[in-house]
Amino acid sequence: MSKTAIIGGASGYTWNDLKYWVNSIRQTDFDGDIVIVTDNMTVETQDKLLEKNVLIHAFGNRNSEGNVVNLEKNLPPHVSRFFYIWDFLNRNEYDIVTVTDTRDVIFQSNPDTYLRFFSLGNIVGSKEGLTYENEPWGKSNLFQSFGPYFYNRIKDKEILNVGVIGGDAASIKDLMLLIFQLSFNRPIPIVDQAVYNFIRYEFEKSFHFMDNESPWAINLGTTIEAVKAGYGDLGQACRYDHKLLEKYEKDYLLMQPVIKGDTVMNSDGGQYYVVHQYDRVPKLKDMIQIKYGD
């Protein structure tokens, strides 16, 4: 039997932020470890996670009330989580690992099933459906993180989302350390996705990135429903300019997902294993919170 884990970061999050992630995993047949890494968490949230048999890998001081308090104020949680995940994997033996965001991610099926079937021994990621030059936030983020030279090298590449990554534990561990180390001394604090894409396009060739026809994962933040709802820089721009919306529909490189009630599927009717950024589709968000809330 292989040993598996689903790991997410949660700095400053409460149980109300994390319960959809945890409860959705518990509603699948996943039987591995559920792990939260944190440097900022109240004792109440810790107690609730422990009650749900979630492992907590905490960095920082514990005050007299038992709260975990962040020691490094200058390191944003978007970056520090990669070190914490690397450290946890460095201390524990696993075969398969899935690393995701937590506040806006739910699981519709056990991700291990997909990872075992698809390719043990590689890193499996997911696409956003737009190139850097056609997604305003990503464009600015990459440009500010790496400057004009490397922006121009990558601008016509499809954006790869850092919020859902799976694969063999050894490869994931190495990737976590690379992202953490390459995120230092950047001009802006939130650089994890730009670094992830830089690694992929400049160095690493052993990734497999799934499009929306694969059931692996869906990133809803750049899909038509989120854009029409006005989410992100792109959504805000398209809300006031119908020509931009028409341009977006031409620029989007993937098949749009199908949303039926509280379920998100590909065009063939296959449910995605992981749904990311569900909170950017208002009706879906409401249904997800009912389905996976307490």
Report the amino acid identity of residue 101: D
Q: Sheet of 274-276: strands edge to edge?
A: 105-107, 274-276, 217-219
Spatial distance between the Cα atoms of 30 and 9, rounded to a whole number of angstroms: 19
What percentage of the chain reaches a pLDDT higher than 90? 85
At 130, give phi and psi (nearest 5°).
-130, 145
pLDDT in tens, 219-262: 999 999 999 999 999 999 998 898 999 999 999 999 999 999 99
Per the structure block, which two tokens stand in for 57?
């890998």
Whose structure tokens read 């994931």?
A: 172
**How many CB atoms within 10 Å of residue 88?**
22
pLDDT in tens, 40-63: 999 999 999 999 999 999 987 888
Among 275, 60, 261, 264, which residue's Cα sits nearest to residue 163?
275
Per the structure block, which two tokens stand in for 103?
């506040």
Cβ 139 vs Cβ 58: under 8 Å: no
Distance of CA 32 to the CA centre of its chain: 19
CA atoms lying within 13 Å on the CB side of residue 42? 10
- Residue pLDDT tens, the chain, 294 long: 579 999 999 999 999 999 999 999 999 999 999 999 999 999 999 999 999 999 999 987 888 888 888 876 677 888 999 999 999 999 999 999 999 999 999 999 999 999 988 755 589 999 999 999 999 999 999 999 999 999 999 999 999 999 999 999 999 999 999 999 999 889 999 999 999 999 999 887 778 899 999 999 999 999 999 999 999 999 999 988 989 999 999 999 999 999 999 999 999 999 999 999 999 999 999 999 999 997
Element (H, E) at 111: helix 111-118
Predicted local distance difference test score (pLDDT) of residue 1:
57
DSSP 120: T
State pTM to two decimals: 0.95
Q: Is the dihedral of CA 185, 186, 192, 195 positive or negative?
A: negative
